[in-house]
Amino acid sequence: MLFGLVRSLMQGWVYELYVKPQFFFSFYGFENLPRVGETLVYIIYAMAIISAILISIGLFYRFATIGFFLCFTYLELYDATNYLNHYYLICLFAFLLIFLPANKSHSLDVKLGFTKASDTVSAWMIYLIMAQIGIVYTYAGLAKLHPEWISEAMPLTIWLNERAHWPILGTLFSWEYSPILFSFFGAFYDLFIFWFLLFKKTRPWAYAAVVVFHLLTWSMFNIGLFPLIMITSNIIFFSASWHKRVLGRLGGMPKSAVYARSVPPGFVLYMCIQLILPLRFLFYNSQLLWAEEGYRFGWRVMLVEKSGLAHFTLKTSDHTAFEVDNSKFLTPFQEKQMAIQPDFIVQYAHYLGEYYSQQLQRKDLRIFVDAHVALNGRVSHPFINPKQDLLLIEDGFKTKQWIITHPDL
């Protein structure tokens, strides 16, 4: 985490993502989240970094985990444009860490006497992390069981082709059967790796597969921290005695053992939410990959290749019409993300409505969008009903009737 935070800071991403934009997209329910501005964002960033350091060395553990969870989650809620599945996963792990006694051994808290050392951890705590990982993989796998992924081999055809000039692996990537093989293998891996990790006999092989798979995807795609998170967190599947052996070799650390105890009801609830949340798309009668209703928080990782254009037109009751210059309000990255996500289009339209009704001093504005999205190597297709006044739409959980159906899906 520390690595990720420092990296973002060094690359100037904090400025690009939190300071430069003048408008921020929100997650549903967080529309009124205060955006604290440049100085405080940097302070919160610093606090997240300090908490991450404290957690690693095991100092002021409870305080640090709460601090990290709050800071990191706040930064992720700041602008929904930046949503990535693995940032969401970090938020979840950070939340779970608060309740885990990860400072009971090998920590400064123990050395300094802030907490009593303990060699044991309740089994449910381990199972909890395992289950969380299992949910991520399995849902990622289920999401791939889609004709686009399995039989069209999209978008892997595009992505592999981009890397066809790589030394050695390039030849493999450009083989005509590779996209379908990779697609199939990817789905298979995500669906079953959890089970292979779970069983003792297959575990070493499965973990080797984890390392190879994530290193390969890391080198192929621009996916940041995700491979690192998965490679390290999957170590939890190994038994306590294995951990002890390895840690022992690294410098004679104390031992820990596992015993079972009953599970607190709060975490049963947590798991139920985690199981149900990715399935909420079932309540929508729309094309998941296209309309993205119930798409986020569902572990739909690297699933589609999309690009879109959205031009907004402002109309007054006397039939004058103007186009909005998006670059005046959004950064190029925000514009790109907005154009492919219907709820962002509506949020932005409402922002434009407020801005212009104030600037023009009139209340009769209507806003329409001409939006086109190209999906998985196809020509683009109209995305939003151009006759729909976006100011009349309130974002919510109802099926978005104003999204135009894609004929191919």
**Alpha-carbon distance 226 to 217, whole Å?**
10
- Residue from 3, 6, 13, 272 touching another protein (CB under 8 A): that is 13
> 10 Å Cβ neighbour count for 215?
13
* R_g of the chain, CA atoms, integer Å: 24
Tokens 């019409």 map to which residue?
321
- Residue from 32, 39, 222, 285 touching another protein (CB under 8 A): that is 222
Enumerate residues 311-370 that contact another protein by CB under 8 A.
Answer: 311, 314, 320, 322-325, 332-333, 335-336, 356, 360, 370
DSSP string, 263-316: PPHHHHHHHHHHHHGGGGGGG--S-HHHH-TT-TTS---S---EEEEEEEEEE-
Shortest distance, CB of residue 330 to another protein, whole angstroms? 11
Pull the structure tokens for residue 290.
Answer: 């296209």
**Alpha-carbon distance 53 to 58, whole Å?**
8
* Complex with another protein: residue 100 or 228, whichever CB lies closer: 228
* Complex with another protein: residue 285 or 358, whichever CB lies closer: 358
Pull the structure tokens for residue 283.
Answer: 């309540």
**Alpha-carbon distance 157 to 353, whole Å?**
41
* Complex with another protein: residue 135 or 160, whichever CB lies closer: 160
* Complex with another protein: residue 280 or 378, whichever CB lies closer: 378
Name residue 298's amino acid.
Answer: G
* Complex with another protein: residue 318 or 394, whichever CB lies closer: 318
Tokens 């596992």 map to which residue?
258
**Alpha-carbon distance 192 to 210, whole Å?**
11
Burial 288-301 (b: 16+ CB within 10 A, else e): bbbbbbbbbbbbbb
How far does Cα 290 stand from its chain's mean position?
18
The reply on whether position 228 binds another protein by CB under 8 A is: no
Pull the structure tokens for residue 288.
Answer: 């998941």
* Complex with another protein: residue 125 or 156, whichever CB lies closer: 156
- Residue from 3, 6, 11, 254 touching another protein (CB under 8 A): that is 11
Per-residue mark of binding to another protein, 160-199 (x: CB under 8 A):
xxxxxx----------xx-xx---x---x---x------x
* Complex with another protein: residue 31 or 325, whichever CB lies closer: 325
Shortest distance, CB of residue 180 to another protein, whole angstroms? 4
CB 88 within 8 A of CB 298: no
* Sequence-distant (≥ 6) Cβ neighbours of residue 261 within 8 angstroms: 122, 123, 124
Pull the structure tokens for residue 28.
Answer: 């549903």
CB 128 within 8 A of CB 271: yes
> 10 Å Cβ neighbour count for 403?
21
Size of the site for another protein (CB under 8 A): 65
Shortest distance, CB of residue 109 to another protein, whole angstroms? 33
* Complex with another protein: residue 200 or 398, whichever CB lies closer: 200
* Complex with another protein: residue 99 or 184, whichever CB lies closer: 184
* Complex with another protein: residue 62 or 311, whichever CB lies closer: 311
Choose one: 63-71, 208-216, 266-274, 304-312; the region binding another protein (CB under 8 A).
304-312
* Sequence-distant (≥ 6) Cβ neighbours of residue 30 within 8 angstroms: 77
- Residue from 10, 168, 250, 379 touching another protein (CB under 8 A): that is 379
Shortest distance, CB of residue 111 to another protein, whole angstroms? 36
The reply on whether position 132 binds another protein by CB under 8 A is: no
Coil/strand/helix, residue 90:
helix
State how far the alpha carbon of 253 is from the alpha carbons of 56, 114, 234, in Å.
16, 19, 21
- Residue from 71, 91, 210, 301 touching another protein (CB under 8 A): that is 301
Per-residue mark of binding to another protein, 270-289 (x: CB under 8 A):
--------------------
The reply on whether position 123 binds another protein by CB under 8 A is: no
CB 178 within 8 A of CB 184: no
- Interface contacts to another protein, rule CB under 8 A: 11-13, 16-17, 82, 84-86, 150-154, 157-158, 160-165, 176-177, 179-180, 184, 188, 192, 199, 201-202, 221-226, 301-302, 307-309, 311, 314, 320, 322-325, 332-333, 335-336, 356, 360, 370, 372-375, 377-380
